[in-house]
Amino acid sequence: MRKSNKFIISFNGQEGSGKSTIATMVSTQFKWPRYYMGQIFRDMAKERGLDLAEFRKVCDNDQNFDKKVDNYVVKLSQEQDRFVIESRTAWHFIPNSVKIYLKVETSVAAKRILKSMSAEQDRSNEDTNLKTIESIKESLLRRRKEDSERYFSLYGIWQDDEKNYDLVIDTTELTIEEVFQSVLRFIESKKPNG
């Protein structure tokens, strides 16, 4: 049972599914803080002068980076009652959170990411080889496999197993607003006292 004073919403999902956009919209809607663990990884990579792909290889051989982020997730859940979090493992470390997973067809994800990378300069350390839809698709599939294997070896969990989540939405053919409204309705149905 979720304690009535705590209400944490955790997001996970596939790259390009819209999870960051939706998490931001939910955070704004409820005026709650939003924590994005992917940015912590990007910052750690940047501090070491690595792009994200290079840093992920370092993480494969040094579990301390993952554990540092996961310990931060646990600490947040102990210190704060209401927030939105994007994390590969928050559903596991904050089991009483409302767990939402967004998925998307890989080709659509690659197109969305390419468009986003063209518009944003702050993803420059993402991966130096992401120039075409095909290269992004290859990167996405490789990254999902590596992530899944890493979290299984660390914690014995499969982060993409849909049974781990309270709500799963395929965003492939949905607008951001349609996804947001579905997520919002679900969250409202889970909030204490309605």
- Tell the residue number behind the tokens 């299984």, with chain if given: 152
C-alpha pair distances (Å), 153 with each of 23, 57, 101, 158 = 28, 15, 21, 10
Closest CA to 17 of 132, 150, 162: 162
What does the pLDDT look like over 83-140, one tens digit per residue?
999 999 999 999 999 999 999 999 999 999 888 877 665 444 455 566 788 888 988 8
Q: What is the pLDDT of residue 187?
A: 97
Residue 75, Cβ density class (10 Å: 0-12 exposed, 13-18 middle, ≥19 buried):
exposed
User: What is the domain class of 7-190 according to CATH?
Assistant: alpha beta
Say what the pTM is: 0.87
Measured distance CA(104)–CA(87) in Å, rounded:
17
Two tokens at 144?
């999902």
What does the pLDDT look like over 65-78, one tens digit per residue?
888 888 889 999 99
What does the pLDDT look like over 6-58, one tens digit per residue?
999 999 999 999 999 999 999 999 999 999 988 887 888 888 888 877 887 88
